[in-house]
Structure formats: C-alpha cells, structure tokens
Structure 1
C-alpha cells in the first residue's frame, strides 16, 4: 500500500512541478523608476487616443464643416440673371444709344424674407455642431485617459500580487517535498496525515497562484483592448 502511495506521489510531484511554472507573459517586466513609468503611461494614453470612436468624431466634425460651408453658400442662390426682351433686342436695331437705354440683360438679387433668418441660423447651427463635436472629443479623450490609467494600475497591481505569491508557493512546495521525502524514507515522525497537511497547504497556494495569474492576464487584456496594442510591443519601443 505504501509503495502504491509513493508511486502516486512521484507522479503527482511531476504534475504539480509543471503547474508551478510561471507563464512568461505574466512575468512581463514593467519599468520601476518613476520617469520611465510616466513615459510609459503617456505612451499608453497616446495609443488610446487612436481609438476609432475619436476618429469617428473627427469625421463628423468634417461633415459639420461641409454643412457650414453649404449654409454660407445659400446666399448665392439669391443672385439672379434675367434677359430683358424689348423691341431693340427683338428687331436688332442698329442704334447704339437705344442699347444703352435698354440693356439686353439685367442682374439682380432676390432676398426672400425668410432667408434673412434661416440662412444665418443654419450657419450658426453648423458652427454649434462643430463646437459640440469638439467638446465631445475632448470629453472622450479625458474618459479614455482615465480608463487607460485605471487599467494600467489594475494590471500593475495584479502583476505585483502575483509576483509576491510566487515565493509563498515555492516555500509551500519545498515544505511539501521535504515531508514527502521523509515519508518515503519511512520516517516514524512523518505520518500520512502530516503529508496530507503539507499537500493541502501547497494546494491552497497553487489555487491562489492560478487565481492571481488569471487576474493578471485579464487585466492585461483589458488594457491592451483600450490601447489597441500589446504591452510587449509598447515596452519594446518605449
């Protein structure tokens, strides 16, 4: 029975040793000095500003500018050119003085009363829409900046918690190995209960490690979703 238990312990030890290995993506090194951290945060915010939602606002601003120009051009619709038909234009009289008195063409401006109110208001509306879109963009940039900084702090904190967990896991693993070694040598002071307790403690640390690793990966994904790039790429060109 004890030989079977020892065999199972050897197989189990190999399994937990693999599970104990840390993901290199989780152990991505972040800068520690404040100037570099500040530069990193600034770069993350710059990347976030390339968000498609902000670009969509730029397109809407361009449309608003076109509408403003269109409203201003409405004044030109009032300019009219009309031909003046009279006996001289019809008969083609050769007397030049008459052509001076009766011009062939008349140019004028017709101003419907309603246009005096509607056109200036249309121009103002287009300008106001442009200003509103500009304000919307600034508000969006502030919101994105706050979201990026929160996401970075979450990622950095989760990563630090994960790194602090690794030595605790290592200690629990070493303790378990020592107990397992004594048990395999039939140490009278090491009972099955002692081995089980050592495993329970180690398993608890493994559960914490898995949970913290998940938190690090999820917070990294959330941050990269906002900036539209991987942290590896950002740090490579920092």
Structure 2
C-alpha cells in the first residue's frame, strides 16, 4: 500500500470516527434527557401521591370524629325513641289500670246499691206488714173509722168533675161511681158520696145527670177508702 492510500484511509477513519462520536453523543444526550424527564415526572407523581396521602391521613381524624358524632346522634335518637315508647307504654298501662279500677268501683257501687235496695225493700215490706197487722187490730178500730170519715168529708167538700170525667159520663149517659171501703161503712156514707158527685156534675153541666154508685169492701185496704169517678181515682186509703 502506498503512502497516499494509507493517508487516505486514516482520513476516512477519522471522518467516520468523528461522525460516530457526534451521532452517539446525540443519542446518549437524548436518552439521558428522556431518562431525566422520566425521573422528574416520577418524582413529581411521587410528591403528588405523598401530598394526597398526607391530606388523606390528615382528614382521617376529622372523618373519624364526624363518624363518632353521627354515631352518638343515632344512639341518642334511638335511646330517646325507646324512652318515649316506654313512657307511652307506661301511660297506656296506667290508663288501662285506671279504667279497670273505675269499672270495678262502678260495679261495686251498683252491687252495694242493689244490695241496699234489696235490704230496704225487704225491710219496708216487713215494716209495712207489721204495721198493717197492728193497725188492722181492734185497738185501732176507732182511729180507722175517724180516718174514713175525714176522707169522706174532704171528698164531699172538694170534689169537682174533670173534663175527662164529664166526657166519660156523657158517653155513658150517666155518672158511674165505684167506691171501695177498708171496712163496713157507716150508714149513709155511700149516699153522701153519691149526692156530692151528682150535685157537682149538675152545677158544672147546668143540668142533672143520672148517677149510679157501686160500693164494696176491699180487704187489701187497712183504712180509709178509694173512689173512682170516670178516669179519676180518689185514694184516701191506707194499704198494706
């Protein structure tokens, strides 16, 4: 090989080496920059993740406190509701007891009232029976007679026919009178009664009206008498 050829080869080698150096430098520089950018981006992501984690950790106590507060509110509301239900239940039970007691008291009062009524009725019957037996005896004969005379005198003096009696008398065409004595009347007692009725009717109507009197003895009467004129009853008796 000639010297020119060797020189030419060295020059070509130098040119090729320089080209490779510059090309390799660019590739290495670009790769380094890309790696550096990736590292910086990763670091930035790491910083952001660290900040987010710190924020999350910082918020945990607040969230925990909020959760505990909400839990306490729920428990408090549940306890209040349970207490209210218990109170209402006690009130309902108390009201039911009061109603039962009131009903029981009412029944007891009614029973006592019925018992007193039964005792009173029995006592009254006993007293009335004893009094009737006593007054019917000969010892009180004069008193019974005096009572009958007073009742007859009062009837003769005060009798005035009512509108209902006059209608009955007019419908029948006569005045029908029914007299019941406790015992045999004195002579002329029934006549006095009949004349008093006829006189009162004539004064009221302005004309006489036939009068028919039917009399008898009623053993149920202890003393006195009863007089029926039309739909009116004059009761001047003592009955057993």
TM-score above 0.5: no
- Higher RCO by CA contacts (8 Å cutoff, separation 6 or greater): 1
Larger Rg: 2
Which has more strand, going by share of residues? 2
